[in-house]
Amino acid sequence: MIQHPHQSSLGILNMKRAGEKFQLLRVPPSSDLSYFIKHYWIIHWDLTGQEPHLQDVVPNPCANLVVQPHRTAFYGVSSTRHSHHLEGRGQVFGIKFRPGGFYPFVKTSMDRLTDSSVGTMEILRVDPHTLEQQLLTAEEPEQKVRYMEELIRRVLPEEDEQIERIHTIIDQIHHNRDIIRVEQVSEWFQMSPRSLQRLFKQYIGVSPKWVIRLYRLQNAAEMLEGLDQQDVLQLAMDMGYYDQSHFIRDFKAVIGKTPEVYMKER
């Protein structure tokens, strides 16, 4: 079933305005692939006769396959916010893996892929041009997903129990807004900070501290809606910041703009 995503689940900034520029669909994986794959995503846009659109996307702790002309590859976690330039007409097909879900395919520590990529030949034994032809010319989302799942099944690794463990940890960090330090996560899951660090480095490619900061600031961005400027200091304190300038600096690093500018653009 095709799903229309919410902003918080995708990290897309200013989703209301973005929805006027492109259409984005998510398709869940078949049950036999759901251990590794979170969802497939498909973006279409038609800006014929319009100005190009620059779309900001907040990072997340997941690897992706991106199928796009001249850029098709598997990408590790992006450690910073990134922007996509959309113009004319086009589309992109992607796979978003669960946190840690790409590690069994690549069989190397995921920190080697942070802010980097690996080719489709190495993982799928299919060249990028073939993927682009098959996935970007198929009209129906179901056709695209069916083709992609056939390829994934050919190279499907054994399930790794650590992926489920990582998913549980990430889910707790994401939804428990009281978590502001790595030591809290270590205590909750009865792991030493060093063991937690090694697990995240190997399976995700970023540190637990990075993930905690990411979700804190994504939550802050969502909570800014409807607040006045004078409420920002209180929000910073609620998020565990005791220095407003530190909060503003971190917010800009992840979201790409200061809280004040972000609020004005909402």
| Rounded-to-integer distance, Cα 189 and Cα 185, Å | 6
The pTM for the full model equals 0.88
Give the pLDDT confidence of 150-191 residue by residue, as tens digits. 999 999 999 999 999 999 999 999 999 889 999 999 999 999
Domain with CATH 1.10.10.60 in the chain: 161-265
| Rounded-to-integer distance, Cα 235 and Cα 223, Å | 8
Do residues 44 and 92 touch, judged by C-beta distance below 8 A?
Answer: no
Q: At what angle do helices 161-175 and 193-203 cross, to 10 degrees?
A: 110
Strand 89-97: give its sheet, edge to edge: 23-27, 37-46, 89-97, 64-67, 73-75, 117-118
**Which contiguous run of DSSP H or E holds residue 246?**
helix 244-255
Residue type, 206: V
| Rounded-to-integer distance, Cα 176 and Cα 167, Å | 14
In angstroms, the first-to-last Cα distance of the chain is: 30
Torsion of CA 171, 172, 178, 179, to 10 degrees: -90
Give the pLDDT confidence of 112-153 residue by residue, as tens digits. 999 999 999 999 999 999 999 999 999 899 999 999 999 999
Q: What is the CATH number of domain 161-265?
A: 1.10.10.60
